Amino acid sequence: MNRLDIQELGVHMSYPAITIISSCTKEGIQEKFDHLISLVSKKNPEIKHIQLHMHELLEQLVCPVDKTKIALFANKHIVRAYALPCNVADVESVDHYFILDPIATCINRKERYFVLECDPENLAFYEGHDETLIQVMYTKTGYQWKMAQPIGTLQKRICKALSEKACIEEATTEFYQSLDAHLAEYIERDPQPLVIVGDEEHIQQFKKYSKHAPIVCAFEHDFAQVFKRVNGCYKQLYTQAIEKLNSASADVLIDKTANHQAIAQAARQGAVEVLLVERSFHENGCEDIASGALEKKDACSITEVNVDLIDALIESVKSKGGAVLLLPENSLANYNHVVAFTRF
C-alpha cells in the first residue's frame, strides 16, 4: 500500500465507510465485516451495494503467504484490499471516513522504493518497504501493470515486414509514453528510488525511450539482487545528504527550536524538498483539536490529542511531495536530530 492509495481512499468519504485491519483469513474478515454492517441501519440504501462488492472482493482475495496483515476498505465509492508492510494495530471501524493515519505513519518510517520489472511479455510494478515487496494492483490511471506487451522483439510478430523498423519504433515510443505517464503518478507525487529490472534489451529500451531514465537509481538483470541495489541507492543518498549538510548551503535549514517550528512552517508551505530525520527519533506532543497547532509536551489537555511531532512533520513533508531520508541514530545529534533541504 502506497501514499497514492492512501490519497485515493482519503477522498472517498461517505457513510458507512468500513475499515478492517487484521490478519488474513477469509472467514475472520467476513465475520468482522458482517459485524460492522450489523451496526448500520438496515434502512441505509448503501448496505446491499457494499455487501455485494465486498463479497466479490473476498471471492478473489488471496491471503499473503507470510503473516502480513491486510487492510480492507469498503463504502459506496470503492472497495479495496491491501497487504500491509508492517504490523499496524487491528482496526474494526464503521464511520464517515476510512482509518488511514496508522498506515501512513507506518509507511512513512520505512525505507521505501519502487521496482518495475519489464520482461519480454509482462510488466510488474512493486512497492518496496525495507525488504518487503508488494505488487501494485490498483492504479489511478486504470493502467494494468501485469499484462502482455508487444515491445522489443515481440513487436516483430505483429509488424508488417515492409515497414517493420518504423512499426517497431512507433509502437515502442507509444508504449513508453503510456508507461511514463503512469510512472509519473508514483515517482513525482511520491518520490522514492526507482529500480528497473529486465534483460539487457529492455533495459536499453527504457534508457532510450523513457523520460524517467535519468532518475532511475539502479538497473538490474537479476530480480534477486534488487534489495542489494536499493541498499546501494540509499547509501548514495545518505552520502550526498551529509555532504550537502556539511557544505553549509543556503538551502539547508537547521532548526534549533524545541518544536522544530521553522522546519514545520517550511513543510506547511511546501518548501521542504528533502527532510533528514534520525530513524528512531520521536517527540511527544499535543495537537489542538480546533486549530491543529502542535506543541511539544508530555501531557495534553482535554482540548488536545497526543501526537508524535516528528511523525506529523514527516507527514506534512510527504503530503507536499517532499522526500524523507531516515538516517542512523545520533547522526544528526548536532542539528537537533532533524534537518531540511528547501526548494525556496
CA 207 → CA 203, 224, 290, 293, 342, distances in Å?
A: 6, 21, 50, 46, 30
In sequence order, the 6+-apart residues with CB closer than 8 A to the CB of 29 are 20, 22, 58, 61, 70, 72
The grid coordinates listed for 54 are 465486498
Q: Is the pLDDT of residue 200 over 50?
A: yes
Q: What is the Cα 332 distance to its own chain's centre? A: 25
The pLDDT of residue 141 is: 43
Please check whether residue 244 is in contact with residue 341, taking contact to mean a CB–CB distance below 8 angstroms. yes
pLDDT in tens, 10-67: 988 899 999 999 998 889 999 999 999 999 988 888 899 999 999 998 988 888 777 6
pTM above 0.85, yes or no: no
**pLDDT, tens only, 209-244:** 999 999 999 999 999 999 999 999 999 999 999 899
Q: Is the pLDDT of residue 179 over 60?
A: yes
CB–CB of 107/129 below 8 Å? Answer: yes
Predicted pLDDT of residue 159: 60
User: Would strands 194-197 and 304-308 be described as parallel, antiparallel, or unpaired?
Assistant: unpaired
Q: What percent of the chain has pLDDT over 70?
A: 90
- What pLDDT, on a 0 to 100 scale, did the predictor assign at position 147? 39
CA distances (Å), origin 75, targets 37, 47, 55, 202:
11, 9, 13, 41
Confidence of residue 142 (pLDDT cuts 50, 70, 90): very low
Residue 93 has pLDDT above 60, yes or no: yes
